[in-house]
Amino acid sequence: MNTRDLLENTAARSASYLASMDRRAVASTSEAIARLKELEIPLPNHSTSPEQVLALLDEVGSPATSATAGSRYFGFVIGGSLPAALAANWLAGAWDQNAGSSAISPVAGRLEEVALRWLLEIFGLPADCGGGFVTGGTMANFTALAAARRAVLQRVGWDVDSQGLFGAPLITVVVGDEVHPTLLKSLGLLGLGRDRVLRVPCDGQGRMRADALPKLTLPCIVCMQAGNVNTGSFDPAADVITQAHDAGAWVHVDGAFGLWAKAAPSLTNLVAGFEKADSWATDAHKWLNVPYDCGIALVRDATALRQAMAVTAAYLPQEDSRTPSYYTPELSRRARCGSLGGTLFARAQRIGRID
């Protein structure tokens, strides 16, 4: 089978899979899960034809999926991708670009610039914010918090890039008591500790209580939540951000799904005030219905993000055009902005009124 036939076969199988979404059970059946044994073959010494591999994946693998791509899946805050995003994602797969460099992939670099500009407009953030396209909310929080860590330590004369955290001034990290566990993981990865955080008591809806904020000693990072995954509630942005900024703290917002409320006029009141923060994390693979994996880290001070993420942080070369890998932990990565761009294009007419 030549490449064209193989890809057409893949498209046909994918279309049949999606067409089955409304007929099949949302969860995979026990029979489908039992068939996964067929994948447990010893590492072969011989090659298998691509169409056989595809047939095995489709015949054994497809029934053992959860029907998250369909309209009857209501678990968590995840959901299927829009047709435009899926199609753009396929094309991005065929491109097989290394999106870490605009020189290697001019189109990937340009798509990031355009998508970033549009996203900042949607979220009502300054056009000169820095942004990085990462795998998901966990990595978006990690990336933005790395910029925060660097910046708050720099303010007290400590260079975390060169010295690490050994002997560094202690950073006060504040979270709401119903912080998403992955944000604590990000803090742990950054050496800020999962358990040494100060937890602010929450109200009955899981909102951080602004009247219960501890004394904020510098250097300090306050992590807020725009969208509690259990209740959908939003932390009181105006009150907390004012107090935190008055004390000189950096405010980070985990808006994995909730930040998108900004695109729905009937919901913008929920996110009012969060635009005053210093950094934000969100997922396009949640409410925007872009294929996995597509997280976005946004930082008001683009230089802070760039200095935290660039390979050569201390001696940043001049950028003629934006170098994507200066804004993310990874150097090489796929052109995920292809699918994000597909969705934004498709939704452009409606983005101001997605409700």
Ligand X SMILES: Cc1ncc(COP(=O)(O)O)c(C=O)c1O
* Pick from 35, 49, 43: nearest CA to 2: 49
d(CA 111, CA 279) in angstroms, rounded, equals 22
d(CA 90, CA 156): 47
Instruction: List Cα–Cα distances, 228 to 23, 96, 239, 302, in angstroms.
Output: 32, 36, 18, 27
Q: Around 296, how many Cα atoms within 13 Å sit in the side-chain half-sphere?
A: 30
Q: Determine, following the binding rule CB under 6 A, whether residue 182 of this chain makes contact with ligand X.
A: yes
Stretch binding ligand X (CB under 6 A), from 8-16, 60-68, 123-131, 252-260: 252-260
Our finding on whether 256 is near ligand X (CB under 6 A) is: yes
| Residue in the block written with tokens 């951000």 | 241
In order, the DSSP letters of 116-133 are: HHHHHHHHT--TT-EEEE
- HSE-CB at 224 with a 13 A cutoff on CA atoms is 34
Per CB under 6 A, the segment of 101-109, 249-257, 266-274, 317-325 that binds ligand X is 249-257
Identify which of residues 97 and 282 has a Cβ nearer to ligand X in the complex: 282
254 binds ligand X (CB under 6 A): yes
Q: Which residue type sits at 268? A: T
| Residue 283-302 contact track with ligand X, rule CB under 6 A, x = bound | x-----------x-------
- Minimum distance, C-beta of residue 141 to ligand X, in the bound complex (Å): 6
3-state helix, strand, coil in the chain (%, to 5): 45, 10, 45
Residue with tokens 């602010």: 200
Per CB under 6 A, the list member of 90, 158, 257, 287 interacting with ligand X is 257
User: 13-42: which residues touch ligand X (CB under 6 A)?
Assistant: none
Helix or strand run (H / E) with residue 198: strand 198-200
Q: Which residue's Cβ lies closest to ligand X?
A: 137
Find tokens 């930040």 and name the residue.
259
Site string for ligand X, 119-158 (x = CB under 6 A): -----------------xxx--------------------
CB-nearer residue toward ligand X: 137 or 341: 137
> Given candidates 132, 227, 291, 324, which one binds ligand X under the rule CB under 6 A?
227
| Residue of 67, 85, 229, 259 interacting with ligand X (CB under 6 A) | 229
339 lies in the binding site for ligand X (CB under 6 A): no
Q: Is 280 in the site for ligand X (CB under 6 A)?
A: no
Interacting positions 54-113 with ligand X (CB under 6 A)? 77
Give φ, ψ of 6 to 5 degrees. -60, -45
Least separation, in Å, of the C-beta of 303 and ligand X? 25
- Contact positions vs ligand X (CB under 6 A): 77, 136-138, 180, 182, 227, 229, 254, 256-257, 283, 295
